Amino acid sequence: MPGVAELVTQLLNGLVLGLLYALIALGFMLILGTMEVINFAHGVLFALGGYFALALQPHVGWWGALLLAPLGVGLVGFGLERGVRRTYGKDPLFGLLFTFGAALALEEVIRIVWTPRGYTISAPAFVAGRFQWGFLVYSRYRILVAVLALVLLGLVWWFLERTPYGAIMKAGAHDGEMVRALGIDLGRLRSLVFSLGTVLAGVAGVIAAPMWSLKPTIGAEAVMPAFIVVVIGGIGSFWGAVLGGLLLGTVSGLSNLVVPRGSILVMYVLMAVVLLWRPRGLMGQKSVLEL
């Protein structure tokens, strides 16, 4: 029977994980919502964030890496979008397949450049060690992760809800024709959204890197929860992604206590349950993607 301390720790782990999932899923969903492209490469871009940070850290320190690595990933994303844009207007399958091919290629590039071995990145010195509060002992770094994730989520929310760019992005998702008619360059908008989405993945990769060992396959492992979060939360909803991420993180974190090996499976059970109860996800809107 797990003790209270253990329970709380796992719960906190789950929340931190959930915030990360929400961050990854949000970037993924921005791309999905605006361009109807399933960005398969999202996971490998997450991994790239970590690898770029690994390469940059010795030169610019942890904070420098936190700033620059995601920009690097955004650049890769920008390049990727130039390829994806040739599939706009066609069957969405093509965009999906393109990013699928890109994911395979990029993962192999990572293997070539950094070899398949696992790397560990250490947390920055000022958050090393544990934080103690009463009976609770928790990793300081994870607290930093949570804080950073919250800040970033807040920034994205502010961008979407309070700036004209965000409004355009949301409009673009609904009515590309109209947006174009208003004189807004749809092509540039899509470039922006795609890059932004990939930057989010990159940032998540940087801050997640010290938590787990860095291997080429973490990308594939990260992309699945992003899918599930979007399905659970509902396509097109900011709070859906946040809620879905938190739900997924806590459920899988807690299930670690009870059923350690099946915790991944629990994610899918959760997804199936949510779908049965709310076919469009918790906060999804009816879209053209269904009848």
Partner 1 sequence: MGTVLARWAPPPMLAMFALFLLLPTVLPRFGYTYLGTEVMIFAIFALGYNLLLGYTGLPAFGHGAFFGIGGYLLGMTQKWTTGGLALPLVAATAGTLLFGAAVALFVARRRGIYFSLLTIAFGVMFWFMVFVFDTWTGGEDGLTGINRLALLGYALRDNVPFYYFVYAWFVGVTLVLWRIVNSPFGQVIRAIRQSESRARAVGYDTARYKWAVFTLSCGFAGLAGGLYALARFGAFAEPMSLSQSGNVVLMCLIGGGFASFYGPVLGVVVFLVLRDVLSTLTDHWMLAYGVLFMAVILFMPEGILGVVRRLRQPAGFHDTGAAHAARAEEAAPPLHSRAPGERER
Burial tier of 62 (Cβ tally within 10 Å: 0-12, 13-18, 19+): buried
Q: Is 66 a residue that touches partner 1 (CB under 8 A)?
A: no
Q: Is 273 a residue that touches partner 1 (CB under 8 A)?
A: no
Nearest to 44 by CA among 167, 205, 179: 205
**DSSP string spanning 196-245?**
HHHHHHHHHHHHHGGGS-B-TTHHHHHHHHHHHHHHHH-TT-HHHHHHHH
Nearer of residues 178 and 224 to partner 1, judged by Cβ:
224
Bridge partners, 131 (sequence order): 138
3-state SS assignment for residue 138: strand
The Cα 159–Cα 189 span in angstroms is 14
Question: Could you give the string, one character per residue 110-139, with x where binding to partner 1 holds by CB under 8 A and - elsewhere?
Answer: -xx---------------------------
Stretch that binds partner 1, among 12-20, 55-63, 117-125, 283-291 (CB under 8 A): 283-291
Cα–Cα separations (whole angstroms), residue 153 to 150, 174, 199, 241: 5, 22, 13, 10
CB of 269 to partner 1, least distance (A): 9
Q: What is the CA radius of gyration of the chain?
A: 19
Q: Is 257 a residue that touches partner 1 (CB under 8 A)?
A: no
Supply φ then ψ for residue 183, to 5 degrees.
90, 10
Q: Please pick, from the candidates 61, 86, 129, 175, the single residue that binds partner 1 as defined by CB under 8 A.
A: 86
Q: Is 231 a residue that touches partner 1 (CB under 8 A)?
A: yes
Residue ranges in 32-51 that form contacts with partner 1 under rule CB under 8 A: 32, 36-38
Q: Is 192 a residue that touches partner 1 (CB under 8 A)?
A: no
Stretch that binds partner 1, among 135-143, 169-177, 220-228, 240-248 (CB under 8 A): 220-228
In the complex, which residues of this chain contact partner 1 (CB under 8 A)? 32, 36-38, 83, 86-87, 90-94, 96-98, 100-109, 111-112, 220, 224, 227-228, 230-231, 235, 261-262, 264-265, 268, 271-272, 275, 279, 287-291
